[in-house]
Structure 1
Amino acid sequence: MHGKGPSTVPVLIVGGGPAGAAAAITLARGGVEAYLVDRHAGPHDGVCGGFLGWDALAELRDLGVDAFALGARPVGYLRLFAGGHRVEFALPYRAAGLSRRVLDEALIGLAGKAGAVLLRGRTVRAADPVRRSIRFDDGEEWSGAALLLATGKHELRGLARDLHGRKETPSAGLRAQLPVDASRSRDLAGTIELHLFDRGYAGLLLQEDGTTNLCLAVAHERLAAGVVGLMKEIMVEAPRLAERMKGAIPPHFDAIAGVPYGWRTGTTSPGIFRIGDQGAVIASLAGDGIAMALNSGVSAAQALLDHGPEAAADWQRRMHRRNFRPVAVAEALRHGAKGTVGRDVLMRLLRWMPALGVQAAQLTRISARRTGGRKSGARSAPGPG
Structure 2
Amino acid sequence: MATASRRSRDRGSRGEARLPLPSVRGADQMTRPIVLGAGPAGSVAAMLLARAGAEPILIDRQVEVGDAICGGFMSWRTAASLRALGSDPLTLGARPVTRLRQYSGERVAEADLPEPAYGLSRKALDTALRASAVQCGARLEIDRARSVKEGEIEGERRSWHSPAIFLATGKHDVRGEARARNSGNLALGLRVRLPPSSELERLVGDAIELHLFEGGYAGIVLQEGGNGNVCLALRKSALAEAGGDPWDLLRKVATDNPHFASRLALADAEEPVDTIGAVPYGWTARKTSHGIYRLGDQAAVIPSLAGEGMAIALASGQAAARAYLAGESAELFQRRFAQRAARPVRVAEKLWHLAETSRGAAGLTLAASAFPELARLAMKMSRI
Fold match by TM threshold 0.5: yes
Q: Show CA shifts across 1:149-208 (max 9, x none).
A: 000010100111123xx2463211111211111110232221111111111111111111
Paired residue total: 353
Unaligned runs of 5+ in 2: 1-27
Match for residue 297 of structure 1? 317
Structure 1 residues 48, 189: closer, same or farther in 2, change over 3 A?
same
- 2: distance between equivalents of 1:43 and 1:304? 27
> Is the 1:7–1:142 contact (alpha carbons within 8 Å) kept by the matching residues of 2?
no
Match for residue 345 of structure 2? 327
> Is the 2:212–2:218 contact (alpha carbons within 8 Å) kept by the matching residues of 1?
yes
Check if 1:281 corresponds to 2:301. yes
- How far apart are residue 228 of structure 1 and its match? 2.1
The correspondence for 1:244, drawn from 253, 258, 263, is 263
Q: Residue 116 of structure 1 aligns to which amino acid in structure 2?
A: A
- 1: distance between equivalents of 2:301 and 2:233? 13
Q: How does 1:51-200 map to 2 (within 5 A)?
A: 51-120=73-142, 122-129=143-150, 132-138=151-157, 140-163=158-181, 166-167=182-183, 169-200=185-216
Match for residue 231 of structure 1? 250
- 2: distance between equivalents of 1:250 and 1:209? 21
TM-score, structure 2 length as denominator? 0.89
- 1: distance between equivalents of 2:360 and 2:332? 38
Of stretches 96-105 and 36-45 in structure 1, the one that deviates more from structure 2 is 36-45
Q: Residue 204 of structure 2 aligns to which amino acid in structure 1?
A: L
Check if 1:22 corresponds to 2:41. no
- 1: distance between equivalents of 2:31 and 2:59? 12
Match for residue 364 of structure 1? 382
- Secondary structure at the residue paired with 1:23? helix
- 1: distance between equivalents of 2:354 and 2:40? 29
- How far apart are residue 145 of structure 1 and its match? 1.8
- How far apart are residue 237 of structure 1 and its match? 2.0
Check if 1:203 corresponds to 2:219. yes
- Secondary structure at the residue paired with 2:147? strand
> Is the 1:9–1:142 contact (alpha carbons within 8 Å) kept by the matching residues of 2?
no
- 2: distance between equivalents of 1:307 and 1:214? 42
Q: Please give the root-mean-square deviation of Cα atoms over the aligned residues, in Å.
A: 1.3
> Is the 2:218–2:233 contact (alpha carbons within 8 Å) kept by the matching residues of 1?
yes
Match for residue 331 of structure 2? 313
> Is the 2:247–2:273 contact (alpha carbons within 8 Å) kept by the matching residues of 1?
no
TM-score, structure 1 length as denominator? 0.89
Match for residue 369 of structure 1? none
Q: Show CA shifts across 1:30-53 (max 9, x none).
A: 110111111111131001011111
- 2: distance between equivalents of 1:257 and 1:237? 24
> Is the 2:306–2:382 contact (alpha carbons within 8 Å) kept by the matching residues of 1?
yes
Q: How does 1:245-284 map to 2 (within 5 A)?
A: 245-246=264-265, 248=267, 249=269, 251-284=271-304
- How far apart are residue 134 of structure 1 and its match? 0.7
- 2: distance between equivalents of 1:261 and 1:340? 20
Q: Show CA shifts across 1:1-39 (max 9, x none).
A: xxxxx8724111111110000100010011101111111
Identity %: 43
> Is the 1:261–1:282 contact (alpha carbons within 8 Å) kept by the matching residues of 2?
yes
> Is the 1:81–1:195 contact (alpha carbons within 8 Å) kept by the matching residues of 2?
yes
- 2: distance between equivalents of 1:83 and 1:251? 26
> Is the 1:264–1:320 contact (alpha carbons within 8 Å) kept by the matching residues of 2?
yes
- 2: distance between equivalents of 1:279 and 1:174? 22
Structure 1 residues 241, 325: closer, same or farther in 2, change over 3 A?
same
Q: Residue 173 of structure 1 aligns to which amino acid in structure 2?
A: G
Q: Residue 117 of structure 2 aligns to which amino acid in structure 1?
A: A
- How far apart are residue 339 of structure 1 and its match? 1.1
The correspondence for 1:11, drawn from 33, 40, 60, is 33
- 2: distance between equivalents of 1:15 and 1:351? 41
Q: Show CA shifts across 1:265-296 (max 9, x none).
A: 11001111001000100000000000000000
Q: Residue 48 of structure 2 aligns to which amino acid in structure 1?
A: T
- 1: distance between equivalents of 2:311 and 2:161? 29
Q: Residue 196 of structure 2 aligns to which amino acid in structure 1?
A: V
Match for residue 383 of structure 1? none
